[in-house]
Amino acid sequence: MSQQHFSSHFLAIVVILQVVMYLSLFLDLPLARIVIGTTYLTIVPGLVLVKLLKLDGLGSLESAVYAVGFSVVFLMISGLIINQFGYLFGLTFPLATLPLSLFINTIVIVGAAVAYLRAGKQKQAPPDKHMHFNLSTLLLALLPIVSVVGAFFVNATGNNLILILMILAMAGLFAVAVARGEKSTKTYGFAILMIGLALLLHVSLISSYIIPYGGDVPVELYVFQDAQINSRWAPVFMVPSDQAYGRYNAMLSITILPTVYSNMLGLDPTWVFKIIYPLIFAVVPVALFLLWQPYIGTKFSFIAVFFFMAQSTFFTEMLALNRQMIGELFFVLLLLTILSKKIGREGKFVTFALFSFGLIFSHYALAEIFLFLLVSAWAASKFYLKRPSFNLQLSMILFFFVAMFLWYIYTSGAVVFESFMSFTGYIAAQLGDFFNPASRGQAVLTGLGLAESPSILNTVSRGFAYLTEIFIVVGVIALVRKKLPFRFGRDYIVFSILTAIFLVFLTLIPGLANALSMTRFYHILLMILAPFCVVGIWLTAGYLSKHKKEAAFVVLAIGVLVPYFLFQTNWVYEVAGTESWSIPLSGYRMSPTQLYGSYGFIDSFSVYGAQWTAFNVPYKFNLSADNSFYTSLTAYGPIYRGYMRELLPDTYLRSGEFVFLSYISINYEQQSSNGTMPRQVNQTDVIYSNGGTNVYHIPER
């Protein structure tokens, strides 16, 4: 089929999808609206940009990954434009469904028409190798389905058998793929997408509400609903002095982007975060596969991506950090764009600019890390290596720097910029504890093997984790010594060495790892360092067996990464019946203190209680709450934390004050020495109760 015929079909598909979307909207067909709308919004705008920027020649897998990235940044930018300039057309609620639909669909259809008119001038895309459909492919396609079924089965019955078998099947499929090998890039890409989706959904879909996992998702959901309910995003948070909320509010990835999805799909905000965001985040491992493939090949890249996904932060902590999920997509796409040799100079700069906006709008810490890598890599290439980088241009760095600081200075009262400066001061103040190991934090000490292990199985788990770290060190040392059989590009080598140095700084400089938490930092740095784990395994296999190196590599890769995966998913702990940290696998036997306290699990009792409180209680500066202060009241009231105070064991309750207590406080913490049930509260003071949540009103004294 000629490129012009393809573009004409694409234009027809866009028109049909838009007609279906409008019909599902006006006829109130929720399922069609969600399924068709998700596909349309997440892929079609990006495909239009792929064609307009003449990136068709990248291959179908890479084009699809770029299309998702372009679509996400397009939705943020188009939402921002109509939000800021909609008043010129009398739009009081610019982010409402109808204005959004008309604006976004008009731009998309115009772009598709331009792509059709330009089709004859574009180059024919090279043919891709076809993906082979066999039993393994079928099993891979079933993984996300089994994950969804297994999660809902746990929700309904508490039985985790389906998820136990699914995780074991993942490990088996990985072992088969490593042992047999596969030449098709598309097959490996499909396998990565399916495994990533299954891992993410088996955690995301547990319960009908968000699971904070100690993360920021309650506040993310708050600022999202603030924009969604008002159908307008305010560049400055309603309390300008609140730096924390101001930083969240400045991120379009958790304000405008989810509002676009929620209003156009008719999807509840909770499910936007629980379904749409994991679907987008699952593209990140595929993009990493494409990033690493030119240097270590398809098979080794697949193994490296499996290692990246196997690390528990990917499918637990990240699900409570929606802005970072979106930010990581652009972080990887920016690296892929910079290092790509397939994109022309003009197309590269435009692509880099769009993805730069995506990262800046998504996550301030990731943007700062990326800027550090850009500046350091450019300086190292120019002044140390004495060879200017061909891929990394000074114009790119200047563009990213200017765009980043303009956005962070002129939104939310410059709170992002101010927080960056205050954290720099915090790090300087911590340098006095340089020789105190405890100043690095528990995660750093655990990673270095300096923290006590709680059990024998945990010691074994740490052993496999330490092995992966050792392999990374072996790979990086071989890279520095130029003893590698792989040809890494010079720019990637510079990025890798800088990342390794940054990892060393995280362990040496007190307080630095606390900027994000060490687990999140390690997860981010693996986006560059993970290939060296596989390189280290390959080199070690060569030392162990010079004549059967390939066989030794297969045995070593499977023998280390499969147990590592089973421990990281907590599969081993659940099967052994020991203490587990996995809510999907072991939530049914967790203590309420762990489930509700440590992980912030939210149940329907606290949600209904939070909503009742928001509508019936004059809560402003007159409400004290237990752990719900951080979870259900913030996410589902939604009540601004500045209007409440956290209920502590020594909190003195004022006359006329309201008290919100959730399930754990009512049923368990009364008996604990550090519980939050205040002595001044009497059962006669209850003004609301639903069996799992109570609201009290302290009488006037």
The C-alpha atoms of residue 381 and residue 367 are separated, in whole angstroms, by 21
For 545-601, where are the alpha helices, taking DSSP H only? Answer: 549-568, 571-576, 583-586, 592
Above 60 in pLDDT, residue 676?
no
Domain end residue (candidates: 546, 576, 606): 576
**559 within some domain:** yes
Q: What is the mean pLDDT of residues 527-552?
A: 91
Asked if residue 434 and residue 558 are part of one domain, the reply reads: yes
Q: Is residue 503 part of a domain?
A: yes
Half-sphere exposure of 341 (CA within 13 A, CB side): 9
Same-domain pairing of 554 and 607: no
The tens digit of pLDDT for each residue in 118-141 reads 775 554 555 455 555 666 778 888
Residue 461 lies in a domain: yes
- What is the per-residue pLDDT for 437? 52
Q: Which residue has the higher pLDDT, 43 or 544?
A: 43
Please report which confidence band the pLDDT of residue 638 belongs to, taking 50, 70 and 90 as the band edges: very high
Look at residue 674 in the predicted model and tell me its pLDDT: 45
My answer on whether 546 and 659 are in the same domain is: no
Is pLDDT at 391 greater than 80 in this prediction? no
pLDDT of 567-610, one tens digit each? 999 999 999 999 999 999 999 999 888 898 888 999 999 999 99
Instruction: Give me the mean pLDDT over the 458-480 stretch.
Output: 93
The pLDDT tens digits of the residues spanning 148-203 come to: 999 999 999 999 999 999 999 999 999 999 998 766 788 899 999 999 999 999 99
| In a domain? residue 508 | yes
User: pLDDT tens digits for 259-281?
Assistant: 999 999 999 999 999 999 999 99
Q: Are 68 and 280 in contact (CB under 8 A)?
A: yes
For 305-328, what is each residue's pLDDT tens digit? 999 999 999 999 999 999 999 999
Number of independent structural domains in the chain = 2
> Residue 92: CB partners within 8 Å, gap ≥ 6?
none
505 shares a domain with 536: yes
Output the pTM of the full model.
Answer: 0.92
Give the structural domain span for 438.
Answer: 426-576
What's 90's DSSP letter?
Answer: T
Residue 478 included in any domain: yes
Does residue 604 sit in the same domain as residue 568? no
Residue 482, CA distances (Å) to 20, 123, 411, 476, 553 in order = 57, 38, 46, 10, 21
d(CA 99, CA 85): 12
Q: Kindly state whether residues 512 and 643 are assigned to the same domain.
A: no
Do residues 549 and 600 both lie within one domain?
no
Q: Comparing C-alpha atoms, which of 560, 528, 526, 556 is closest to residue 540?
A: 556
pLDDT for the residue 215? 80
Q: Does 620 lie in the same domain as 511?
A: no
